[in-house]
Amino acid sequence: MTGNLPLDLLITVLRSILLVAVLLGLAPVLIVMERKVSAFMQDRPGPNRAAIAGVFRLGGIAYVLASAIKLFTKENFTPSEANKFYYYLAPAISVAVGLTTGAVIPFADTLIFGDHHVPMQVLPINAGLLWFFAIASLGVYGIIFGGWASNNKYALLGAVRSSAQLISYEIPMGMSVIGILMLFQTLQLNEIARAQGGLATFFGLFPLGVHVGPAYIGIPNWGIFLQPVAFIIFLVASFAETNRTPFDLAESESELVAGFHTEYGGMKFAMFLFAEYMGMIVASSVMATLFLGGWQVPFLDTAALQTLSLPLVRIGLGVTIALLALIAIALFRFAASQKGRFGDARDYEGQVLGSVFTVLAAVVALAFFLALGLQTMPAWGGVAFAAFAQFTAYFVKMFLLASTFIWVRWTLPRFRYDQLMNLGWKVFLPVALANIAVTGLVILAINGHH
């Protein structure tokens, strides 16, 4: 930190706002994606009729605003026999756990301005990975309180299921990351991400790639290449952690109506919904940090990003112009093919969105030509560009992993309760223990060779 208390406090507040913006801002995006992807996989249009002022449908996204208005204005009912304190506390716990768990996620490498060091984490503690496991396990209390306090037998069954399945996936999940800790020798998530920079080696004998100036070409030193078994266990356990299909046994609408949130509606239900998607984001972020290098940009470490910042800015702006222009052209062509087909806003929406992307392409093109005139970056420019590139890398990895949750939900059927227990106790736990033993033997062999 800077050593200046008011400035440190301001930086902490800004990082907290960034975290809340990421978690709460991406949740609606994933909701849109969930419904669009599920509609595509089931060969149906999906929700696409709602429009702002009857004109702006925004590719079917405007219905999210309609859903939000519906949840805000829906009748706020409370079951007459419910324990009101815990009934209202339950969704608050679920949202709070989602927000506090994400506090240890590093969005980028530590920013260094002269003597000032600014970690890009809300909570840069040494035991960051332990914080994730400790706080994430508290999320089950929101489910238990919600199911019990509702005084509904289906809700109670969902809560009991969630509490019983907790230990069956929490233990293998915790065991799976021990191999990562043995390799990187730290619980600090930012240090784990930093340790995954550079090239991977073949059992410590020779690098799996070559260095080209400040960059490198080859297999990066990411956890997924070093611990592929641990990644699979952690990924599957994360589905159970977030109560997502095929492990959504706490909700299981075919058996329990809606499970633990059967008696919830309006914004109380929306809080549970947001908590689920925030859990997806946090779990995806932790997986990206442990196994995909976190904020590491492939083939470029922080020093290389700062050194090559000016040419990379020009390349990035050029690629962005091309992408925006292609999107605009595709939208205009789509609008021409849909002309008069529906007789409503959908007929000319492609033209509206195409015009927006055209304007964006023009703005980026202006920035590109201004960048061509730069001879050197400002003193802070390299640091700012490196942070932006690393945040983008983190975001892309996290979003791809979060997309996996959606893909799996609409691909696999729900497991039976006993199948989840068998998978956790009889498959993943022994495999995780075997992975720890093999990792230890490999480390001993490498150290003995050196």
Question: Does the pLDDT value for residue 5 go beyond 70?
Answer: no
Going by their DSSP bridges, the two strands 116-118 and 111-113 should be labelled as antiparallel
List pLDDT tens digits, range 212-252. Answer: 777 888 888 899 999 999 999 999 988 888 878 788 776 76
Alpha helices (H) along 42-127: 62-73, 84-101
Question: Quick one: average pLDDT of 426-447?
Answer: 90
Question: Does the pLDDT value for residue 145 go beyond 60?
Answer: yes
Question: Does the pLDDT value for residue 160 go beyond 90?
Answer: no
* pLDDT at res. 349: 76
Tallying the residues shown for the chain, one arrives at 450
351/332 Cα distance (integer angstroms) = 5
364: left (phi over 0), alpha (psi -120 to 50) or beta: alpha
Taking only Cα atoms into account, the Rg of the chain, rounded to an integer number of angstroms, comes to: 24
325/319 Cα distance (integer angstroms) = 10
Question: Does the pLDDT value for residue 2 go beyond 60?
Answer: no
308/381 Cα distance (integer angstroms) = 11
Q: What percentage of the chain has pLDDT greater than the value 70?
A: 92
Question: Quick one: average pLDDT of 385-395?
Answer: 90
Question: Quick one: average pLDDT of 338-367?
Answer: 82
Burial of 320 (0-12, 13-18, 19+ CB in 10 A): middle
How does 224-242 read in b/e, with b if 16+ C-beta sit within 10 Å?
bbbbebbbbbbbbbbbbbb
Question: Does the pLDDT value for residue 314 go beyond 80?
Answer: yes
List pLDDT tens digits, range 252-271. Answer: 666 666 677 788 878 888 88
Question: Does the pLDDT value for residue 163 go beyond 80?
Answer: no
Q: What percentage of the chain has pLDDT greater than the value 90?
A: 18
List pLDDT tens digits, range 13-31. Answer: 777 787 777 777 788 888 8
Question: Does the pLDDT value for residue 354 go beyond 80?
Answer: yes
* pLDDT at res. 235: 92
List pLDDT tens digits, range 180-205. Answer: 999 998 889 999 999 998 888 877 77
Mean pLDDT (the chain, rounded): 83
* pLDDT at res. 309: 86
Question: Does the pLDDT value for residue 425 go beyond 90?
Answer: no
Q: Indicate the range of 328-332, 360-364, 371-375 predicted with least confidence.
A: 371-375
> Does residue 28 or residue 320 have the better pLDDT?
320
Q: How confident is the model at residue 381 (pLDDT cuts 50, 70, 90)?
A: confident
List pLDDT tens digits, range 67-88. Answer: 778 878 887 777 877 788 888 8
73/366 Cα distance (integer angstroms) = 44
* pLDDT at res. 15: 78
Q: Indicate the range of 74-88, 310-324, 364-378 predicted with least confidence.
A: 74-88
- Our CA angle for 276, 137, 399, nearest 5°, is 40
Question: Quick one: average pLDDT of 271-278?
Answer: 85
* pLDDT at res. 177: 92
* pLDDT at res. 257: 67
